[in-house]
Structures are given as structure tokens and as C-alpha cells.
């Protein structure tokens, strides 16, 4: 790790956003991860995305599990809320927090071990319930923090640093999220910041469970020849399905010159996802065809990236449960605990 | 892994915006930077590049931080010859160039740190170059003992030259002694540093001797002559009343030298100083100490256009001296042969048809200021009445000698010029730089070598890596703003012309100021074959100066980076194409040299390497060849 604190001095011409912040105001502490770790690039992309959408840092709650990836919330948005849960249990803590205060923006940051191994059940159920959140898995195919054992997302045949091939089938979190009913699904690569930043912005604007699988090479244990999660391998096999441009609601939407290749998807909050089509066989609003699309390309050894699926009129957990529209901390004691008379009424209604 | 590159290039890039995009070998793109050219890294060290003598500034600042004052002094002594003097008086072209001034409000107090080294050093006599054992048989005459000539002496004495130094004044130092007031520069400092030079070998001083004829001097068979006679004539103002009131109207530089040499010790209560340069500032501050209670500076130009350095203006105003602008002197008023005041025409600045700024009458009534004395400080000129025009030294239409800008040789190959005498009035550090260059030429000339062939600088580039994240320089820079130099209580300062106003940084403040230096000589050196394009360096860089991008012609490239590179005086460091066919581009402009890029790089593609450049002076050039 780096011993010095990052100097406060910044480029004199840094742009400022609507809140008067530069992107440097969205930083956290200096990373303690290995130099060159893909996770750090993802943190940088989160910082850039939050800066670009003028997010007030105190409106964000970042939750994570255990792992190098789960350590990263310390390294971005130092002025926001955070909770580092136990291994694989981030989804339930996030769900609870979200139920208590629906006004915050929730970002779950996890690893492939944290979400696809120990936390697989939590992952699937949280997605299934439509919790309004951005769920990012920083996917390196190994347990980085415990020194590089294969995780459940490691491809069959991918080689460990010592040259041993992984015998098991991989868990594809993107496919799983689609099956579980995620209303926003994307995949990206830590080494492609432009694509990643737009995806994060769009996911934050999404109402419902937005899932991002971000391939993020583990520089220490999984960036060698023979690994399918190395910088070189991912760069060689990366197939972008589309190019996304995230347009905030207040931006003017211009008429497209080439309607055949571009679709605009308007989200709940008025933001527009402008998608320039790059793969012929991809329709981002048709869940079944997207699942087929992913399998087809998987079989060819390609890693498809981009905004893979989006359901513009999605509903989230609060809507489904019909609970109060206000955060619990803004309710009075009387509202929170209406007394035994009210309880009796409810009980009677159930007889 | 060339397969990867092929795959990328063979298939049409689906998304031009993603990291894999771009094409290699773009003919119109910028060529890779040649870091083996010493000028490249030298330019990154902004202060050293801007210093006319190319003093290795960050090197001495680190030595001060380490408490190694004597070594810090010697680094200076080698480059700029007069560190104690310059640490108090230098025009400091390095400071406006300092990178810190571009990332924060103010530059590092480079000049005043030099003084910290001088104030705290121990005995340096053992560190000075040894006196030559025997003469080398060549005799050189030097006219003037100002900083230019003293530098020539310093560089040539160790080589065994016999050096005969003439000066009309009784002591060495030139205008450093005769003009700069004692409250800015104590005489002991001049004595000490001039002493180190004149005591170096076969140096003969003929002080109190004015040269009246170059022809005569040339007939004395010197092997070479160096003219360092300065720009000794102060400009006058021929206005009505000038003659009648002459007793109370003084030429600034003549008056100042009379004060320095103690021929004058008082002035009237009400003083007007005409002029807006540094001489005017010294005149008004000196007047305040010799009985002037009501001292004004009155200038033709606007405040910002005044020639005086900002800090000189500040110091004057701090001593209760108002500055009046846009007033052009018209007439000296007098009564019974005694000066009564000065009348001024009011002007305003206007742009003429060609967009040039011009001062035009405002139409308002003239303004009269009463006073007892006037000091005229409206400029200095060269004067060479003692150089006969038929001794082989050609003069141009401005009556200036024709001098080669690199070799400082005149059209008489034996005669060299330097300092204010060469190209008009400048300052001490330029005089020193000229002296170094002239000394190299004189030495070559005396050895029958081609003076136009200049010795290259000595350079050294060494990795600072000590451990995984440990460097042999302190990369943790301070966030503090520039520290103010403590000043003497004004009541005492204004009473005694010899009381130095600035007290200098003490060791603690000096240390604090050193920590603001960005170590710009510790270079970021990039090795393209090692880079795996993980973006870690780009993400960590606190000033957004690293980018990975398709190559493009420079103007386009400058706009394609993480932050726009709008400072065209600062170079872009461009790599050869990387695996994805992009290039690494580093904008040198605001790099903090914090080493974080190298700390976050997993492959060691970045390294922090200290670049030391030392100008080769005559002494070293000759010794290394011997
Ligand atoms: C009032 C004032 C304040 C200044 N303050 C500063 C300052 O703070 N910082 C700074 O960097 N610069 C300052 N300068 C400028 C600086 O002093 C000069 O640029 C510098 O001294 C020039 O050095 P030089 O070696 O060319 O000659 P000079 O220092 O001018 O020395 C020339 C010497 O030659 C002698 N000489 C001339 N003709 C003859 C002759 N025919 N025979 C014998 N001897 C002769 C003169 O007596 C003089 O001693 C100041 C100048 C003035 C006028
Ligand atoms: C309950 C529990 N089981 C096991 C561990 C040990 N452990 C720590 S991190 C980790 C795997 C993390 O892998 P991943 O989520 O992929 O994170 P990465 O370090 O790769 O980013 C494991 C198994 C633990 N901390 N807690
Ligand atoms: S072990 Fe791997 S995942 Fe963990 S910090 Fe190092 S490079 Fe990143
Ligand atoms: S040393 Fe490296 S990280 Fe630090 S400012 Fe310069 S380029 Fe950026
Ligand atoms: S950190 Fe090193 S390997 Fe990574 S992009 Fe920068 S120079 Fe290349
Ligand atoms: Mg992992």
C-alpha cells in the first residue's frame, strides 16, 4: 500500500459539477489494495459517475461484504454512509437499510466470492425482491483477499497462478440475475472506464434492482497467461453489445440522425439511456432474447459487455409491499407505534 | 502476447470509446518523447530551467530540509557564486516559474531559502576549489568588479590564470556594493562572498583605478580582456526648472552610491521619487531612513505596469510610501533658486488603432506636488566613452558593442563582455550567468580552441526507489501556504539605514518552507514495455496528468487528456504505442512528483528518477579534459 496521503492539490482546471464539487471531492481514503488491482479502477469509475450526476455524497449508502472488493467502499465517497457486513451478507443488510430509509441511494459492492460462493443465496433473493439498489460485483474469478483460490465464477479450464486448471463450471452472475428478475443488468470491465462510468450512472438512475458484473483482474493472483480474467484475455474477448450514453432528465434529448441503430430508453426518474447498437442480435428490452444472446456469445468464448437488459417501467420492493413512502426516521413515535387499538384492528382483519 | 494486438486490429473495433480502441502508428500523432535529450527533463525542473545560472534548486532545498546547510550553500556557490547576496536580493526569475504557483497560490520561497543555507552554513574554506599551485602563463584584465567579472574570476582563478581586476570603486562588488541599500544587504555579506572569490589564486585587484582608454589597456598585452563595467549612467529628465533647482534634484543611482559610500547621510523632509522601477523603490526606502517623512513615488505608468518587482512595491508601501500612478512630470517648480515641487500632467491608458497601450492626456488639470528633494530614477544606460571606436570593437546603432550572445565575444576576439555591459541593465543572476559563459570562452580562446563549441552540461539520472513504497526523497509534500519572512520592527528599521529589514527564515520556518517544494527534479520515467494498461497510475494521480489515449497531433491530443493540457509552455511526455495501440500521455504541467503513479504501478513501468543537471563551467571543463 501507499504510505502517504494523496496530496490535496489538484489540477487548477478541474471541472466542477452543479454542487460545486470536483471529482476529487468524491474520493475516499487511499487504497490499500495491491498496486494495479482492477477494483481500484472500479472505485475511480464510481467516483467519476457520482461526480457527473451531481450526487450529494451524503445521499449515498455503500454496503459491502468481505473481500478485497468489499474493502473498496472505503476508497470512494468518503462523505457518504457505509456498512461493511459479514461475508456474503451484504444483500440482507442492504435490504434492511433500504426498507428503513427509502430516500437514500444504495450501492452494494461485492466480490465474486462474496456473492457467487458464500453469498449466492443472499444475492439471488435480494435481486428477486427488486430492492432499489445498484449491486456491483467486482469479479476477478478468485478469492483475492485469501490469496487467490478459485471462486465460483472462475471459468472451467482457467488456470491458477501455479498452472492448475479449474475443473468446475462457472456461475454466470449476469444470467442468474436475469433469471432472478433483475430489472437492469450490465457487464463491464475495470479496464474500460468510459463504458463503466455510463453504466454506473444509468444503474443509479434505475428504479429497482440494478446489477453490474464488472470483470476486474486480480493483479496478484489472476492476471497470468491461462487465466480468463486477466487484462489481456478480457481485452481480447470483450464484445460490447452496445454503447451507452446516460442522459439526465434535465438534459435536452436531441433527435437522432440514425434511428435504425440507436434506441432511447426513458427510465422512471426521467433519465434517458441512449443505446447505440453494436451487436445485431441484441434487444436490450427482451429478457428471454437477452438470455439467449448471452449464452450464444458465451459459447463462442466471447465476453459480452454493455447494458444487457433494462426494464424501464420496473417496480421496486417498496412498491410491491405497499409500505410507507417516508423513511422510518422521519415518522413520529405515534406513527411508528400506533398503539394496541390499531394492533387489535389488524388482528381482527386476519381472523 | 502479440496475438492480443492482432485480434484487436483485425476485427472492426465495435466501440471506439472503449479502452481497446485506437490505431497504432498514426502518422499524424505525436512522436515518442526523447528523454535522452537532457533538455527534456531539465525543462521539467521549472525553477532550474528559469534560473539564468541553472541552479539545481530542488537539490539544495532538500539539503536545507535535511539540515545540511553547508552542502546546500555549496550547491549554490557552484552555480550562482553569490548565494548569501542572491538569497537577499535576487530578482528570482525562478519563482514565477515555480510549479507550486500553478497548483496553489504562491511559489516556493526559493530565494529566501537560499539565504537560510547562507545564514546557517559552517566554515566552507575547505570546500572551496584549491588555489592553483602555479600560474598557467596567461594574463587577463577585467574591467569592473561587479558580479559578472567576479564570476569570471571565480571560474578562471583555479586554472592558474593571472587575473588583474580594475574597478573605479575602492572595493569589489560593483553595484551590489554601490547601489543596493544596506537595509536589504549588509556589507559583511558582500565582504564575505567577494572575499571567497578574490582570494582564489593569482588575482590582483587594482581598485580605485578607472580605465580611461581601452586602447591603452590592449597595448599592455593581456591575453584577453573582460569588460564587466555595467550600465553606470542614470537617465536624467530635461524639464523646465531642472537647472534652476539642480541643488535638490538628484540622479537616483548616483545618489544611492553616495549614500552607500557615506558621502550623503540626509535628505529633505518631503521627497518625490520619479520612476517605477527597483531603483525608485530603493531611493524612496532609503529616503525614509535619511529624514524623509513624507516620501512619495510618482510614476507615469499604471501600478501593474511598473517595472519594480511586486515584492519591492509591497515593501515600499509597507514603509508608508504611497505610489501615485498615471502622472507624467512636466516641470520642476522653484523659488529663489530652491526647488518647491513638481507639476504633473494626468494621463490615462488607451489602446491605439493597432491595439497597443498608450498613455494619453486625460484632459484633467495638471497636478502639483510640493517637495524639498526629487530623486530621478527613470532608467539606466550603458556608456563606453573610454572605449575608442577604432580598437577593433564594433558598436551598433544604439552605441552598444556587438557581442555574441553565446560566447560573449566582441568583434575584437580578445575582448569579451558580460553583465549589464553586454546587453544593457539586467540583474545580478544574469550577470553571473554571463560571467560563466564568458569564462568558458576566455579559457577556450587562451587555449586556441573554438569558442563556439560549448561544453555540454553534466547530467545524472538515478532511481530513487528504496523499497516497495519507499523513496530516497520525501514525496509527502506539505499543504501549507507560503511562509512570510519575519521582518525587523519597523520603528527600529526606519531609524537605521544599516539595520537589515528582513530577518530571514529561522531553521524551523526554513524547514517548513522546504516542505512546499514539489521535487520537480525527481522525474517520472515511463517504460512502455512494462505497462499492462491497468489504469492504476491514471486513477491515483492527484492532478489528473496521466492519460491513456489514441495518439493524435499535439493540439488535438492536448484536449483529449484526463484534464486539458492548456499550458503550451509545458511538454507532453508521449510513449511509444502500447499493447492496445494507445499511447501514454503525461502532461508535465502540474505534476506534483509525488510518486504515487510509481507506487500504484504493479509492474514498475513508472519509476521516480532524480535528474541532476549541472552546467559545465570553465573550471570543470578544463579539469575534466586534463
Ligand atoms: C539601485 C539598484 C538596485 C538594484 N538592486 C538589485 C537587486 O536587488 N537584485 C538584482 O539582481 N539586481 C539589482 N540591481 C541590478 C544589479 O546591481 C546589476 O544588474 C548588476 O550589478 C550588474 O553587474 P555587472 O557585473 O554587469 O556590473 P556592475 O555591478 O554594474 O559593476 C560594474 C563595475 O564596473 C566599474 N566600472 C565601470 N566602468 C569602469 C571603468 N571604466 N574602469 C573601472 N571600473 C569601471 C563600476 O565602478 C562598477 O563597480 C540593482 C541596480 C540598481 C541600480
Ligand atoms: C464467514 C467467512 N468465511 C470465510 C472468510 C474468508 N474470506 C475472506 S475474503 C474471502 C473471499 C473473498 O473473495 P471475493 O469476494 O471474490 O473478493 P476479492 O478479494 O476477490 O475481491 C473469504 C473466503 C471470511 N472472512 N468469512
Ligand atoms: S489480491 Fe488481487 S483483488 Fe486483492 S487487492 Fe491484490 S490484486 Fe486486488
Ligand atoms: S508523480 Fe505521478 S501521480 Fe504524482 S502528480 Fe506526477 S504523474 Fe501524478
Ligand atoms: S500503473 Fe503501471 S502498468 Fe498500470 S497503466 Fe500505469 S504504468 Fe501501466
Ligand atoms: Mg474475487
Q: Whole-number mean pLDDT of chain A?
A: 94
Instruction: Please check whether residue A34 is in contact with residue A219, taking contact to mean a CB–CB distance below 8 angstroms.
Output: yes
Nearest residue in A to B598, CA atom: A35
Q: Look up cell 461485492; give the residue.
A: A110
Helix (H) or strand (E) holding A211: strand A209-215
Measure A21 CA to ligand 4 centroid, in angstroms: 22
Measure A84 CA to ligand 1 centroid, in angstroms: 70
Give contacts of A30 with chain B, Cβ < 8 Å: 540
Please write the tens of the pLDDT for every residue from B602-622. Answer: 999 999 999 999 999 999 888
Instruction: Please check whether residue A316 is in contact with residue A131, taking contact to mean a CB–CB distance below 8 angstroms.
Output: yes
Backbone angles phi, psi at B269, to 5 degrees: -70, -40
Helices B278-289 and B310-318, interaxial angle, to 10°?
20
A282-287 long-range contacts, CB within 8 A, separation 24+: A282/A241, A282/A242, A282/A308, A284/A241, A284/A242, A284/A308, A284/A309, A284/A310, A285/A309, A285/A310, A285/A311, A285/A312, A287/A178, A287/A311
Average pLDDT over residues A37-50: 98
Per-residue DSSP letter, A113? I
How many whole angstroms separate alpha carbon B223 and alpha carbon A85? 86
Please write the tens of the pLDDT for every residue from B217-231. Answer: 999 999 999 999 999
B592 touching A, CB under 8 A?
A: yes
User: Ligand 5: which atom is nearest the Cα of residue B526?
Assistant: 7
Among all bound ligands, the one having the nearest atom to the CA of B172 is 1
Joined grid coordinates for residue B148 = 559578472
Give contacts of A240 with chain B, Cβ < 8 Å: 14-15, 18
Backbone angles phi, psi at A303, to 5 degrees: -105, 105
Give contacts of A40 with chain B, Cβ < 8 Å: 536, 539-540, 600
pLDDT of B62 above 50: yes
Please write the tens of the pLDDT for every residue from B179-212. Answer: 999 999 999 999 999 999 999 899 999 999 999 9
Q: Look at B535 and A2 and tell me if their CB atoms are within 8 Å.
A: no
Domains annotated on chain A, with CATH: 23-321 (3.40.50.970)
How many whole angstroms separate alpha carbon B145 and alpha carbon B165? 7
pLDDT of B9 above 60: no
Instruction: Please check whether residue A220 is in contact with residue A196, taking contact to mean a CB–CB distance below 8 angstroms.
Output: no
* CB A305 near ligand 3, within 6 Å: no
* CB A161 near ligand 3, within 6 Å: no
Nearest residue in A to B541, CA atom: A6
How far off is chain A from B464, nearest CA to CA, in Å? 16
pLDDT, position B6: 31
Q: Which residues lie across from B344 on neighbouring strands?
A: B329, B367
User: Ligand 1: which atom is nearest the Cα of residue B185?
Assistant: 8
Instruction: Please check whether residue A198 is in contact with residue A187, taking contact to mean a CB–CB distance below 8 angstroms.
Output: no
Residue B264 CB: number of other CB atoms within 10 A? 16
Pocket test for ligand 4, best of B573, B575, B591 (most atoms within 8 A of CB): B591
pLDDT of B18 above 90: no
Which among B476, B534, B590 has the least Cβ separation from residue A12?
B590
Identify the residues whose C-beta falls under 6 Å from ligand 2: A 66-69, 87, 111-114, 118, 138, 140, 142-146, 151
Measure A218 CA to ligand 5 centroid, in angstroms: 14
Q: Look at B15 and A243 and tell me if their CB atoms are within 8 Å.
A: yes
Domains annotated on chain B, with CATH: 128-232+382-446 (3.50.50.60), 234-379 (3.50.50.60)
pLDDT, position A260: 61
Residue A288 CA from chain centroid, whole number: 22
Give contacts of A37 with chain B, Cβ < 8 Å: 534, 536, 602
Q: Please report the number of interchain residue pairs, chain A to chain B, with beta-carbon separation below 8 angstroms.
A: 134
Average pLDDT over residues B72-89: 98
pLDDT of A60 above 90: yes
Average pLDDT over residues B243-252: 96
Instruction: Please check whether residue B74 is in contact with residue B61, taking contact to mean a CB–CB distance below 8 angstroms.
Output: no
How many whole angstroms separate alpha carbon B41 and alpha carbon B52? 17
Average pLDDT over residues B111-119: 98
Where does the pLDDT of residue B307 fall: very low under 50, low under 70, confident under 90, or very high at 90 and above? very high
pLDDT of B505 above 50: yes
Instruction: Please check whether residue A6 is in contact with residue B542, taking contact to mean a CB–CB distance below 8 angstroms.
Output: yes
How many whole angstroms separate alpha carbon B77 and alpha carbon B406? 22
B426 touching A, CB under 8 A?
A: no
pLDDT of A3 above 50: yes
* CB B284 near ligand 1, within 6 Å: no
User: Ligand 2: which atom is nearest the Cα of residue A115?
Assistant: 15
Among all bound ligands, the one having the nearest atom to the CA of B421 is 1
Where does the pLDDT of residue B353 fall: very low under 50, low under 70, confident under 90, or very high at 90 and above? confident
Average pLDDT over residues A157-164: 96
Which among B103, B599, B603 has the least Cβ separation from residue A9?
B103
Please write the tens of the pLDDT for every residue from B461-486. Answer: 999 999 888 899 999 999 999 999 99
Q: pTM value?
A: 0.91
Q: Look at A235 and B469 and tell me if their CB atoms are within 8 Å.
A: no
Q: Whole-number mean pLDDT of chain B?
A: 93
The span from the first CA to the last CA of chain B, in angstroms, equals: 51
pLDDT, position B534: 96
Beta strand pairing call for B606-614 and B458-463: antiparallel
Q: With pLDDT > 70 as the criterion, what percentage of chain B qualifies?
A: 95
User: Ligand 5: which atom is nearest the Cα of residue B546?
Assistant: 6
pLDDT, position A254: 54
Where does the pLDDT of residue B10 fall: very low under 50, low under 70, confident under 90, or very high at 90 and above? very low
pLDDT, position A261: 79
Give contacts of B599 with chain A, Cβ < 8 Å: 2, 35
Average pLDDT over residues B164-176: 97
Joined grid coordinates for residue B197 = 572569490
* CB A144 near ligand 3, within 6 Å: yes
Q: With pLDDT > 90 as the criterion, what percentage of chain B qualifies?
A: 92
How far off is chain A from B292, nearest CA to CA, in Å? 45
Nearest residue in B to A217, CA atom: B534
Q: Which of A263-267, B408-412, B470-474 holds the top average pLDDT?
A: B408-412
pLDDT of B555 above 70: yes
What is the C-alpha radius of gyration for chain A, rounded to an integer number of angstroms? 21
pLDDT of B14 above 80: no
Pocket test for ligand 3, best of A109, A140, A219, A224 (most atoms within 8 A of CB): A219
Pocket test for ligand 1, best of B144, B260, B386 (most atoms within 8 A of CB): B144
pLDDT, position A251: 60
Q: Look at B536 and A10 and tell me if their CB atoms are within 8 Å.
A: no
Q: Look at A193 and B596 and tell me if their CB atoms are within 8 Å.
A: no
How far off is chain B from A35, nearest CA to CA, in Å? 4
Nearest residue in B to A38, CA atom: B534
Instruction: Please check whether residue A99 is in contact with residue A132, taking contact to mean a CB–CB distance below 8 angstroms.
Output: no
pLDDT of A255 above 60: no
Identify the residues whose C-beta falls under 6 Å from ligand 4: B 524, 540-543, 545-546, 586, 591-597
Measure A230 CA to ligand 5 centroid, in angstroms: 14
Which residues make Cβ contacts (< 8 Å) with residue B576, sequence separation at least 6? B32, B528, B583
Measure B134 CA to ligand 1 centroid, in angstroms: 32
Among all bound ligands, the one having the nearest atom to the CA of A219 is 3
B8 touching A, CB under 8 A?
A: yes
How many whole angstroms separate alpha carbon A242 and alpha carbon A235? 16
Per-residue DSSP letter, A116? I
Nearest residue in A to B539, CA atom: A44
Amino acid at each position: 500500500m501507499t504510505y502517504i496521503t494523496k496530496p490535496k492539490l489538484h489540477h487548477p482546471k478541474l471541472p466542477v459539477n452543479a454542487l460545486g464539487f470536483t471529482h476529487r471531492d468524491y474520493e475516499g481514503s487511499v487504497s490499500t489494495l495491491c498496486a494495479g488491482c482492477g477494483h481500484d479502477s472500479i472505485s475511480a469509475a464510481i467516483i467519476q459517475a457520482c461526480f457527473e450526476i451531481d450526487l450529494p455524497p451524503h445521499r449515498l449508502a455503500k454496503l459491502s461484504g468481505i473481500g478485497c472488493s468489499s474493502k473498496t467502499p472505503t476508497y470512494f465517497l468518503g462523505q457518504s454512509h457505509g456498512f461493511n457486513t459479514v461475508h456474503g451478507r451484504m444483500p440482507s443488510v442492504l435490504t434492511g437499510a433500504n426498507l428503513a430509509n427509502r430516500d437514500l441511494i444504495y450501492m452494494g459492492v461485492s466480490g465474486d466470492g462474496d456473492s457467487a460462493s458464500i453469498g449466492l443465496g443472499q444475492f439471488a433473493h435480494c435481486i428477486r425482491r427488486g430492492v432499489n439498489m445498484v449491486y456491483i460485483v467486482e469479479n476477478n474469478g478468485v478469492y483475492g483477499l485469501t490469496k487467490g483460490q478459485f471462486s465460483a465464477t472462475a471459468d472451467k479450464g482457467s488456470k491458477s497462478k501455479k498452472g492448475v486448471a479449474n475443473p468446475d463450471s462457472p456461475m454466470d452472475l449476469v444470467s442468474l440475475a436475469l433469471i432472478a428478475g433483475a430489472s437492469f443488468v450490465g457487464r463491464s470491465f475495470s479496464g474500460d472506464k468510459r463504458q463503466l462510468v455510463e453504466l454506473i450512472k444509468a444503474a443509479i438512475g434505475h428504479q429497482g434492482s440494478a446489477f453490474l458484473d464488472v470483470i476486474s483482474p486480480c493483479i496478484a493472483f489472476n492476471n497470468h497467461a491461462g487465466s480468463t480474467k486477466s487484462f489481456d484475455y478480457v481485452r481480447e474477448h470483450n464484445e460490447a453489445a452496445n454503447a451507452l450514453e446516460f442522459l439526465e432528465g434535465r438534459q435536452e434529448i436531441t433527435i437522432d440522425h440514425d434511428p435504425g441503430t440507436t434506441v432511447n430508453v426513458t427510465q422512471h426518474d426521467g433519465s434517458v439511456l441512449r443505446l447505440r447498437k453494436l451487436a445485431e442480435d441484441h434487444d436490450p428490452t427482451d429478457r428471454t432474447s437477452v438470455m439467449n444472446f448471452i449464452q450464444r456469445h458465451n459459447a463462442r468464448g466471447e465476453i459480452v459487455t454493455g447494458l444487457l437488459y433494462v426494464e424501464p417501467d420496473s417496480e421496486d420492493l417498496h412498491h410491491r409491499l405497499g409500505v410507507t413512502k417516508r423513511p422510518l426516521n422521519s415518522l413520529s413515535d405515534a406513527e411508528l407505534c400506533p398503539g394496541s387499538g390499531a394492533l387489535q384492528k389488524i388482528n381482527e382483519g386476519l381472523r | 502476447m502479440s496475438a492480443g494486438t492482432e485480434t484487436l486490429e483485425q476485427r472492426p473495433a465495435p466501440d471506439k470509446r472503449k479502452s481497446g480502441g485506437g490505431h497504432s502508428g498514426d502518422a499524424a500523432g505525436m512522436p515518442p518523447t526523447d528523454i535522452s535529450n537532457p533538455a527534456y527533463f531539465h525543462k521539467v525542473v521549472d525553477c532550474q530551467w528559469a534560473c539564468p545560472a541553472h541552479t539545481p534548486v530542488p537539490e539544495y532545498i532538500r539539503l536545507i530540509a535535511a539540515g545540511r546547510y553547508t552542502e546546500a550553500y555549496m550547491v549554490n556557490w557552484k552555480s550562482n557564486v553569490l548565494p548569501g547576496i542572491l538569497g537577499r536580493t535576487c530578482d528570482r526569475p525562478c519563482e514565477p516559474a515555480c510549479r507550486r504557483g500553478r497548483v496553489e497560490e504562491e511559489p516556493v520561497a526559493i530565494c529566501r531559502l537560499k539565504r537560510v543555507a547562507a545564514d546557517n552554513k559552517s566554515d566552507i574554506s575547505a570546500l572551496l576549489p584549491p588555489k592553483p599551485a602555479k600560474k598557467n602563463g596567461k594574463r587577463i584584465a577585467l574591467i569592473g568588479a561587479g558580479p559578472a567579472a567576479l564570476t569570471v574570476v571565480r571560474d578562471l582563478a583555479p586554472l592558474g590564470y593571472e587575473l588583474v581586476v580594475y574597478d573605479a570603486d575602492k572595493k569589489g562588488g560593483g553595484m551590489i556594493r554601490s547601489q543596493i541599500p544596506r537595509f536589504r544587504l549588509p556589507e559583511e555579506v558582500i565582504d564575505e562572498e567577494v572575499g571567497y572569490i578574490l582570494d582564489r589564486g593569482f588575482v590582483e585587484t587594482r581598485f580605485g583605478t578607472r580605465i580611461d582608454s581601452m586602447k591603452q589597456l590592449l597595448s599592455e598585452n593581456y591575453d584577453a580582456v573582460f569588460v564587466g563595467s555595467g550600465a553606470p549612467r542614470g537617465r536624467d529628465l530635461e524639464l523646465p526648472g531642472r537647472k534652476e533647482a539642480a541643488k535638490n534634484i538628484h540622479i537616483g543611482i548616483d545618489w544611492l552610491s553616495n549614500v552607500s559610500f557615506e558621502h550623503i547621510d540626509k535628505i529633505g523632509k518631503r521627497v518625490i521619487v520619479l520612476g517605477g522601477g527597483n531603483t525608485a523603490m530603493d531611493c524612496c526606502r532609503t529616503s525614509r531612513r535619511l529624514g524623509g517623512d513624507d516620501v512619495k513615488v510618482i510614476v507615469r505608468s499604471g501600478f501593474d505596469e511598473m517595472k519594480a518587482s511586486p515584492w519591492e512595491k509591497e515593501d515600499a508601501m509597507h514603509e508608508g510610501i504611497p505610489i501615485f500612478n498615471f502622472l507624467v512630470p512636466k516641470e520642476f517648480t522653484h523659488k529663489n533658486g530652491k526647488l518647491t515641487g513638481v507639476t504633473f500632467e494626468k494621463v490615462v491608458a488607451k489602446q491605439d488603432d493597432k491595439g497597443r497601450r498608450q498613455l494619453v492626456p486625460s484632459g484633467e488639470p495638471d497636478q502639483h506636488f510640493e517637495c524639498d528633494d526629487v530623486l530621478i530614477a527613470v532608467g539606466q544606460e550603458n556608456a563606453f566613452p573610454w572605449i575608442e571606436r577604432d580598437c577593433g570593437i564594433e558598436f551598433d546603432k544604439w552605441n552598444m558593442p556587438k557581442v555574441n550572445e553565446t560566447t560573449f565575444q566582441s568583434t575584437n576576439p580578445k575582448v569579451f563582455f558580460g553583465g549589464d555591459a553586454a546587453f544593457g541593465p539586467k540583474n545580478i543572476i544574469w550577470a553571473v550567468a554571463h560571467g560563466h559563459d564568458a569564462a568558458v570562452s576566455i579559457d577556450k580562446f587562451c587555449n586556441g580552441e573554438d569558442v563556439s563549441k560549448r561544453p555540454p552540461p553534466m547530467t545524472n539520472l538515478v532511481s530513487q526507489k528504496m523499497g516497495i513504497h519507499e523513496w530516497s526523497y520525501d514525496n509527502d509534500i506539505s499543504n501549507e501556504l507560503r511562509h512570510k519572512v519575519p521582518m525587523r520592527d519597523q520603528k527600529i528599521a526606519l531609524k537605521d539605514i544599516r539595520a537589515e529589514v528582513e530577518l530571514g527564515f529561522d531553521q524551523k520556518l526554513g524547514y517548513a518552507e522546504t516542505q512546499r517544494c514539489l521535487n520537480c527534479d525527481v522525474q517520472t520515467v515511463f517504460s512502455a514495455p512494462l505497462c499492462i494498461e491497468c489504469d492504476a497510475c491514471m486513477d491515483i494521480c492527484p492532478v489528473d496528468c496521466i492519460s491513456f489515449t489514441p495518439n493524435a497531433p499535439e493540439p488535438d491530443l492536448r484536449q483529449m487528456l484526463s484534464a486539458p493540457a492548456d499550458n503550451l509552455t509545458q511538454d507532453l511526455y508521449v510513449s511509444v504505442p502500447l499493447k492496445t495501440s494507445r499511447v501514454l500521455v503525461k502532461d508535465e504541467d502540474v505534476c506534483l512528483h509525488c510518486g504515487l503513479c510509481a507506487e500504484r504501478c504493479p509492474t514498475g513501468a513508472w519509476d521516480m528518477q532524480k535528474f541532476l543537471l549541472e552546467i559545465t563551467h570553465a573550471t570543470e571543463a578544463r579539469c575534466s579534459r586534463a
